[in-house]
Structure 1
Amino acid sequence: MNFKVMAFDDGYGDNKLLSNGNPFLVPSFITPFKPLPQNEFSSSSGFTYYASSVEGKDYTFGDYASFLDSNPQWVGGENKHADKRFPLLFKSCLGLMTNEEVCNVHKMVMGLPVNSHNIKREDQLKNIVEGKHEMEISFDGEVFFERNVHIEELIIKPQPFGSLCDVILDSQGQICNKQVASGFNVIVDIGARTLNILTCHKLQTIDDLTLHTNDGIYTSYIDVGNYLKGELGITIPDGKLPSIIQSQQLNGYDLTPAIQAANENLANNIANIINKTLINSWGMVSTLIFTGGGAEVLKQYLMEDFKSKNTLFLNRFSTVRGFKKYGIRKAIQDNCIDVKVGNYDNRH
């Protein structure tokens, strides 16, 4: 029996989506509809235009929403699923995950921060995700395509668990890296707003070595924003900071030194949190796994901080890839298809 499995890593900064083929990214911005600007001198702005129609209202979402809105609002509160914009952004992104007008999804896999992975938050997210979703999607703001997506079951795991699955599972959900799977692993997921640390021994969570803080990469962005305000007298909306930092300049000012200083400071803070958490456990740690978009940015500093440890650096798409693999694993198990995975079959 063929099963449709999707994975959705709804980060505070970016949504990472995977249905078929390769994962792709949609920044977590949504604004009332704005038409695609016409530019007679250039055919490319460097941004991807997405528009949607949800519940009778039209929106622009993704990085173009940040570009077109003078004060873009980031869906990034303490509980982003309580933000009234999140269901709109979720449906909009969901419409991009299929080319079919009608799509039935048997398993959708998503994550929660490790300290928020509880029944209340799970129920809240399931109420948003499970069931029928109707939307229209446009890539030019003029022609809209109908999408009807039904999600039968939402599987929710701690966010860093997806990256662990990406390391230990193959594309059919079978354990292919038994050495890591049987080890003492610390997964450090550096996202936009949060730092998640998940510690597992033989795939069992060690609760007192598992935590999340607000030390995500946006901490560095805010430091750069404070530099612009304090040193240059320029106030920048938070939603504009990622694109400015990506360009590394503003109005002719070279922001590279300020960005490097902010990143180095954040990496040092994260290293201190890791060392404090594992102070009595380093002797047992077999692999220290860094993942998330923040890990990509801070890699050079973290490699130096933990050069004596067995480290593995993943990227921002590792979590969503791992979620997809785990969803396939669960779909196969639910349909009584024999998958030989050694002694790990019933761990999760």
Structure 2
Amino acid sequence: MNIGLDNGRGNVKVVCGNRRKIFESYCGRGYEMDFSYGKENYEVQIDNEKYFVGALAKREGMSRCFQKHKIDNKRTKPLVLTAISLMTIQDSNVNIVTGTPISDYREQKDQIEMYLRGKYKVKVTEEEQKEIEIENVKVFPEGAGAYFSKILNMNGEVCDKELATTKVGIVDIGYKTTNISVFDNLKFVDKLSATFNFGIHQAFNMIYKRLSREEDITPEQVENITTGYEFKTLSDRIQTEINKFWGNISFKIFICGGGAYLLKDYFPKFELINKPEFANAEGYYKIAQMLYKPKVERWTFGQ
């Protein structure tokens, strides 16, 4: 089974065929509860450890997984294995393609691939326990998934030859980071790609500071707000950084990520990818289809 997984700092997104799930990246150690909140609130058993994941972890006052080095964070595997389990209906051997911020890619790629491989016993809420073996893991820079979501079909085959042979830019506005990347004829252009350590969370944080002076409001409630000058402030900052790297842009640019919906109107020349929050996960799935299916011409990143 092939799975595309975007383990974001705001939300986890996972795609397998026509199935997809998204849940907030809250996670913490679980404990016995007097009653269940229901199947969408994930009580997760991994081997002999219990965790709360997503909405349940948020309700119980646990935090999101913000740590830069994911292999050093004990919440990474529960988030990943919850996502995988939600895509499977029985014991499964899986191949995963996932991503990491461009700034961390070279340092963390091999470590993440090694860290996630293995056999696990996983039980999510009311489901039966499953044995999941992660056989293969491939890590790409964030933005690569979005790019290949436009280039490949769901079988991992090139479906847009024109786009595949031109220069393309990706602006991926995440929760805590924004990644910009350029691809030219299927090749990643490193010198035109970068990670900025701010994302849509920065706008939410500015809104919270402004509103909390006058009313009783929580940071979680602020994330339901869709208007405010703070979004323009963040967009201007992103545009300034883009100009430093790309100068006079002469290629097609796509915008994606969880922050794309809120900021798209400030980038009228950029094309919004359909379902932008799933763009990377969908692209990772398509790459997995290409890499792990026999008799399909394979493409190696960086060649």
**What TM-score, normalized by structure 1, do the two folds share?**
0.79
After superposition, what is the alpha-carbon deviation per residue over 1:11-60, rounded to whole angstroms, capped at 9, x for unaligned?
11111011242321011001324748689xxxx9xx93111112423222
Separation in 2, partners of 1:94, 1:346: 24
CA apart distance, 1:321: 0.8
Separation in 2, partners of 1:38, 1:93: 20
User: Percent of counterpart pairs with the same letter?
Assistant: 23
1:330 alignment partner in structure 2? 291
8 Å contact from structure 1 (residues 33, 51) kept in 2: no
Q: Which amino acid aligns with 1:97?
A: M
2:44 matches 1:52:
yes
After superposition, what is the alpha-carbon deviation per residue over 1:64-89, rounded to whole angstroms, capped at 9, x for unaligned?
321x22x4311012223321222222
Structure 2 unpaired stretches of 5+ = none
1:17 aligned residue (10, 14, 18):
14
2:193 matches 1:228:
no
Q: 1:96 to 1:35 in 2, by over 3 A?
A: farther
Structure 1 unpaired stretches of 5+ = 249-255
After superposition, what is the alpha-carbon deviation per residue over 1:293-333, rounded to whole angstroms, capped at 9, x for unaligned?
11122111222xxx3xxx3211111111111111111123x
**What TM-score, normalized by structure 2, do the two folds share?**
0.90
CA apart distance, 1:228: 3.2
Q: 1:85 to 1:347 in 2, by over 3 A?
A: closer
1:124 alignment partner in structure 2? 111
Separation in 2, partners of 1:200, 1:220: 28
After superposition, what is the alpha-carbon deviation per residue over 1:111-146, rounded to whole angstroms, capped at 9, x for unaligned?
11111111x4123212331111112111xxxx4520
Separation in 1, partners of 2:51, 2:112: 22
Separation in 1, partners of 2:292, 2:159: 18
**1:202-213 superposed matches below 5 A:** 202-213=185-196
1:293 alignment partner in structure 2? 258
Q: 1:226 to 1:19 in 2, by over 3 A?
A: same
2:271 matches 1:282:
no
RMSD: 2.5
1:161 aligned residue (140, 144, 157):
144
After superposition, what is the alpha-carbon deviation per residue over 1:159-210, rounded to whole angstroms, capped at 9, x for unaligned?
1000111101111111111111111111111111110011112122222211
8 Å contact from structure 1 (residues 165, 326) kept in 2: yes
Q: Which amino acid aligns with 1:72?
A: M
8 Å contact from structure 2 (residues 70, 112) kept in 1: no
2:296 matches 1:313:
no
CA apart distance, 1:97: 2.0
User: Which of structures 1 and 2 has the bigger CA Rg?
Assistant: 1
